Structure 1
Amino acid sequence: MNKPFGFTERHCREFIENTSELILCMDAKGRFVYVNRSWKEKMGYSEEEAYAMTIWDTIHPDHMSKCSDHFRKACEGDLTDCCTRSIETAFVCKDEKVIFAEMNSSCMIEKCDEEKFVMCSFSDITERKKLEEALYLEKEQIEKTLLSVGDGVISTDKNGRILLMNKAAESLTGWKLKSASEININDIYDVRDETTKEKIVSPFEEVLQKGDQINNSSHKLLISKSGSEFYIEDSAAPIKDSMGNVTGMILVFRDSTEKIEKLKQVEYLSLHDHMTSLYNRKYMQDSIKRLDTKRNLPFSFIYMDVNGLKLVNDSLGHDMGDKLIVSVANALKGMLRSDDIVGRIGGDEFLVLLPKTDIESTEKVAERIEKTVSETKIDSLVPSIALGYAVKTEDDQSILETLKRAEASMYKAKLKSSKIMRNYMIENLIKLLEDKYDVSKQHSKRVMYYCEKIAIAMGFTEKETADLKTTALLHDIGEVVIPASLLNKPEKLSEEEYEQIKIHSEKGYQILKSIDEYSALAESVLQHHERWDGKGYPEGLKEGDILLHSRIINVADAYEAMTSERPYKKAMTQKEALDELKKCRGEQFDPEIVNIFIEKVLLKNSLDLQ
């Protein structure tokens, strides 16, 4: 029995010396009495250096207290369980490198003198500690990221019980983590259909049971604990262990209310006319294709065009033109059936789609539209429309041909109504000017009267005289765009105000040019403030380059203005006005026309306007 023991003891010594474990023995004061080769190699000390040291020379300062307590218990033989027999500590090598180790200790008592020794073995766990630290930092980083991101984040266990919620999730759901912890996610994540408001079946079972990942960006509502509603987008993914088993779930969701509202706004604008809020051309075209089915027969169209829009734009400005369009649109909205579809398909064109509507019903709708529009009023304007209609009655008829027939019918009606509308507009503009400018009515009629007398004296034909009279009556029509405060200002106009007044001749030209019946007169209206010497406006024409009618109106206009009361001056006597005409002939006025006006009109007839 002795030989095997001796054999075992020798081999045990060799094993202790050559093991990769760091093994040492120290006395009760911590002085090294033995260190193995691995310890010397790892710590960097020779055997002589080691035996001159204590364990306290090698322990890291941060671990000194813990090791001191452990050493005391080892000496007292009080290391009774695995927790106290083994501790993790850190040592400082000779080159000041720090190594982490798991230290196991036991107390030995020498029988002869009962001297106590502590035997320790160390496993180098430096790499493990580095890995643990890295994992800890990674975990901290992930947790801090999840808790701080703007999206809501909820983590659950494999049964769907909530483990983690970040601030965004608390805000959106209305639940605090403290209250929601261990509650099933379906009890706090209340998602509804945006239209019906019915609860949507939870997809989380697919994630937790099947390990599927879900992504959902459809329009759905999250109802918070307080009842607030948010559009949300969400995604959920399983958490799996190293064996691929699902251990939980991560839900990420965000408030997409602003995004959805903007998308809806873009979608609305893509299908609606921005000015009238009626459907636009694209939507109407798509609707025609969509509704072109047998079950919608008979299918009717009413095609409409607003009369005189260009004239309104040119005379009263585009703001008034826009009001005209909107007033027609509002009239259409207020009187059509819920199934009827109305849209603005061009600047002044509207279209109504009437599924399941025969010709008799269509005619009644058209009559109602005309009546409703005629009863509409914008300031002193009453809108006027031309409309036409057509009906598709058979399935094999072309829907586009039916639309073309409705359009052709509208243009036919427009030919009849446009002249009446234009004359009405001119009368309306004259009335508007007279209402805003106190002297306008009598001024234009007097100028027309003087022009007629000059025309007769110059031997004009009846047609030429009639054209001149109409031009004279309308020569200041462009003043309808000038503010009444300027037209009636009693003080002298500033240079800027005078420049604003001067645009009336160009505006008058634009108005008359847009009306076929008056377009031939437009140029004479444009030039009626040109001067014989070329110092007039708007083009600075001179002498014979100025149209004859414009030269005549220039003289008659000036004489009437001189002999009439104005807010800013008293009327001249006839003699004073004649002297001014004579003084300015050859400069402001055509000298021949001045002579004819004085000699053959004023003096010959002793003219006074009755």
Structure 2
Amino acid sequence: MDIFISSASRGLIPKDPLALSFLIIVLSVLILILFVIFLNTIHRLKVRHKENENMFSLYKTFINAEDNLIYLKDDKLKYVFVNKAFEYFFDLATHELTGHDDYELMTHEYAEKMRETDLAVLETESVVCKDIQYKKRIYRTTKFPVTLANGQTGVGAQIKDVTQEQKSIKQHEIHLHTLISIGDGVMVVDQNGMVEMLNKAAEKLTGWLSSEAVGKPYREVFPLYRDGGTVVSDYVADVLESGTDSEMKGNAILLSKCGNRHYIEDSTALIRDDMNKAIGVVVIFRDISAIKEQRDQIEYLSFHDSLTGLYNRRFFEQELRRMDTADNLPLSIVMGDVNGLKLTNDIFGHMYGDQLLVSVAEVLKRVCKKEDIIARWGGDEFVILMPKTSPEDAKDVMFRIKNECADIKIKAIKGSISMGSATKQTANQKIMRTLEYAEDTMYSVKTLERDNIRNSAIDSIVSLLHQNSKREKEHSLRVSELCQKLGKTLNLPDREIRKLKEAGYLHDIGKIVLEPELMNKNHLLTNLEWNEVKRHSIIGYRILNSFDNTLDLAESVLAHHERWNGSGYPKGLKGEEIPKLARIIAIVEGYDRMTHDSDNIKAMSKEDAIQTLKDNAGILFDPKLVDVFTEMVQEGTT
């Protein structure tokens, strides 16, 4: 009132009552407006505060719902705020945590680790991440600077238990290392068909380095073909589309960057993300070229003879049934039996016997048509199935085969084959009967040819032996002649004299197995060479025992190096255990060796040779036979 009076006294308040009333009303309205504004402001502030409280509560709810540990520290590194997970971890309430530092809550060692990263945040004013091990678990701390209400900088943090994650990463690394280091090839392809990774084995097989292959279409790095040359379909795309894994078992060829071909088998598996969506394919493959070759070899051997490469009996019998049709008439079968195989094996060993069989097989392949089925029927027997072949044509084939086989020579054995044939000419004939008839015919021919084959074989062996050593030829002739004369002196029967003469001629036939250099070497033999030479009596026995007309000579030839006192070979016989003809050959051979020059040994005189025989009578030689022989020589009956 004093104001108004003062104002009025200064002339500021109107003196007019009406004006004064108006002024009072205006002032009242202004005061009311200001009051309303004040109330609205207070309301808005309350609403905003409430919203902030709600938002803070919401934030706190979210933070408390987080499994990870979350906290806020002030500039003194004392806890200002922690979430529920933090409370649960330390088993403390918020009021027991706030206002305290790490040294009050945990071990000194762990507090030091926490303090180290907190200080790093404050010093660098940047985010600091570090993994810390606590009670055998691994925690990843992510700490960051926070500006506090007082303007100072505090530390906010999120701590996550990454133990399982680290184990998963380690397991993943182990798996990756395993894929990289395993012997199988591994290729990872993305959903677009681009290569993401090759391991070392895959690099070796494809010829691509992983660094070169990454980002390239997998079909460029891993081109697959079938045996016929056709390209394998885009099976990675098929797997991605179908959503199922697949396998390819050895029916594809991988062509490497440098042009090498590898037979492979592989398996293809989808790679899925956490949402089970296919994001790529892993292809695991291996080189099975060696395995396939082995399989092919097994399959080949199931139908082929391993020695000659011809079909085997099993396959022939299948083909015989298959080709037994009217379209193939006349259907001829030729059977052949190789002569001299056993003799070759006995004399020179199975390696040379195998050579004989292989040589005959080559002749059969050269002479026969492509349509013919040639098979090894048994040990030394072959069979040929010839469709649309008349009896005359079959005989012509046999003639050409026999002629070409005659040119074969394995050591001293000449090639020879006995053959027979039969032809099915009408549909009502039984093919098995045709086969039997061909076999019967072959055996009949072999029987008729036996004498010629035998004589030819003996002549061939002796001829080669004498060709290799002229000295052995002359020695054989002289021993044969002396044996015959001694047999007559002993008044042996004519049959025994004939045997003695032949045995004398063939007594060293076993030397056919010796190399010419060894056969002609007459001195300083090594133990190995001497053992080789001593085999000749056994080999001679085997040869002569192989033929009917020389069977009675075999024992004498076997024993002609036995000695009266048992010091000889090969059986160590003594005295009259030694066949008489062998005792005679031993004396005659010894005398002939002593009385004829060799390469470096000068011949003895007849007198010295006779004396040597007498000195060894009863030791090396039969004493009675020595007396008869020396008397015969001294009397000049020779």
| Equivalent position to 2:226, from 180, 186, 193 | 193
Q: Which residue in 1 is equivalent to 2:172?
A: 139
> What CA distance in whole angstroms lies between the structure 1 residues aligned with 2:538 and 2:137?
95
> What CA distance in whole angstroms lies between the structure 1 residues aligned with 2:573 and 2:122?
114
> What CA distance in whole angstroms lies between the structure 2 residues aligned with 1:12 and 1:304?
107
Q: Which residue in 1 is equivalent to 2:108?
A: none
How far residue 304 of structure 1 moved from its aligned partner, in angstroms, is 1.5
How far residue 293 of structure 1 moved from its aligned partner, in angstroms, is 4.6
| Equivalent position to 1:64, from 115, 118, 137 | 118
Q: Which residue in 1 is equivalent to 2:255?
A: 223
1:306 correspondence with 2:353:
no
Letter of the 1:151 counterpart: D
Structure 1 residues 10 and 448, CA gap change in structure 2 (3 angstroms): closer
| Equivalent position to 2:364, from 332, 340, 343 | 332
> What CA distance in whole angstroms lies between the structure 1 residues aligned with 2:287 and 2:194?
23
How far residue 586 of structure 1 moved from its aligned partner, in angstroms, is 4.1
> What CA distance in whole angstroms lies between the structure 1 residues aligned with 2:82 and 2:565?
124
Alignment of 1:155-554 (within 5 A): 155-176=188-209, 180-194=213-227, 196-241=228-273, 244-378=276-410, 381-395=413-427, 397-493=429-525, 497-554=529-586
Q: Which residue in 1 is equivalent to 2:637?
A: 607
Report if the CA contact (8 A) 2:412-2:461 is conserved: no
Length-normalised TM-score, structure 2? 0.78
Q: Which moved more, 1:10-19 or 1:547-556?
A: 10-19
How far residue 553 of structure 1 moved from its aligned partner, in angstroms, is 2.5
Report if the CA contact (8 A) 2:70-2:158 is conserved: no
SS in structure 1 of the partner of residue 503 of structure 2: helix
> What CA distance in whole angstroms lies between the structure 2 residues aligned with 1:540 and 1:34?
112
How far residue 512 of structure 1 moved from its aligned partner, in angstroms, is 0.8
Structure 1 residues 242 and 9, CA gap change in structure 2 (3 angstroms): closer
> What CA distance in whole angstroms lies between the structure 2 residues aligned with 1:376 and 1:440?
26
Structure 1 residues 58 and 492, CA gap change in structure 2 (3 angstroms): closer
Q: Where does the alignment leave 5 or more consecutive residues of structure 1 unmatched?
A: 74-83, 110-114
> What CA distance in whole angstroms lies between the structure 2 residues aligned with 1:192 and 1:556?
77
Q: Which residue in 1 is equivalent to 2:89?
A: 42
1:473-508 Cα offsets, whole Å, 9 max, x none, are 212212222333333225354566444433322222
1:128-166 Cα offsets, whole Å, 9 max, x none, are x33433343333333333333333323233333333333
Q: CA RMSD in A?
A: 4.1
Structure 1 residues 444 and 97, CA gap change in structure 2 (3 angstroms): closer
How far residue 335 of structure 1 moved from its aligned partner, in angstroms, is 2.5
> What CA distance in whole angstroms lies between the structure 1 residues aligned with 2:136 and 2:370?
88
Structure 1 residues 607 and 189, CA gap change in structure 2 (3 angstroms): same
Q: Which moved more, 1:282-291 or 1:542-551?
A: 282-291
How far residue 88 of structure 1 moved from its aligned partner, in angstroms, is 7.3
SS in structure 1 of the partner of residue 384 of structure 2: strand
Structure 1 residues 603 and 393, CA gap change in structure 2 (3 angstroms): same
Report if the CA contact (8 A) 2:250-2:292 is conserved: no
How far residue 308 of structure 1 moved from its aligned partner, in angstroms, is 1.6
How far residue 292 of structure 1 moved from its aligned partner, in angstroms, is 4.3
> What CA distance in whole angstroms lies between the structure 1 residues aligned with 2:84 and 2:284?
55
Report if the CA contact (8 A) 2:414-2:460 is conserved: no
Q: Which moved more, 1:352-361 or 1:285-294?
A: 285-294
How far residue 313 of structure 1 moved from its aligned partner, in angstroms, is 2.8
How far residue 511 of structure 1 moved from its aligned partner, in angstroms, is 1.4
> What CA distance in whole angstroms lies between the structure 1 residues aligned with 2:529 and 2:138?
91
Structure 1 residues 428 and 208, CA gap change in structure 2 (3 angstroms): same
Report if the CA contact (8 A) 1:311-1:515 is conserved: no
SS in structure 2 of the partner of residue 489 of structure 1: coil
How far residue 383 of structure 1 moved from its aligned partner, in angstroms, is 0.7
Q: Which moved more, 1:56-65 or 1:572-581?
A: 56-65
How far residue 91 of structure 1 moved from its aligned partner, in angstroms, is 8.7
How far residue 410 of structure 1 moved from its aligned partner, in angstroms, is 1.5
> What CA distance in whole angstroms lies between the structure 2 residues aligned with 1:163 and 1:332?
57
How far residue 381 of structure 1 moved from its aligned partner, in angstroms, is 4.0
How far residue 442 of structure 1 moved from its aligned partner, in angstroms, is 2.5
Structure 1 residues 291 and 205, CA gap change in structure 2 (3 angstroms): farther
SS in structure 1 of the partner of residue 438 of structure 2: helix
Q: Which residue in 2 is equivalent to 1:154?
A: 187
Report if the CA contact (8 A) 1:192-1:221 is conserved: yes
Q: Which residue in 1 is equivalent to 2:5?
A: none
Letter of the 1:239 counterpart: I
How far residue 117 of structure 1 moved from its aligned partner, in angstroms, is 7.3
Q: Which moved more, 1:56-65 or 1:242-251?
A: 56-65
How far residue 215 of structure 1 moved from its aligned partner, in angstroms, is 0.4
If asked which structure has higher relative contact order (CA below 8 Å, sep 6+), I would say 1
Q: Where does the alignment leave 5 or more consecutive residues of structure 2 unmatched?
A: 1-42, 105-110
1:189-230 Cα offsets, whole Å, 9 max, x none, are 321122x22212222332111112110023321223444332
1:11-62 Cα offsets, whole Å, 9 max, x none, are 9999979967777665555444566887555346785775253899687256
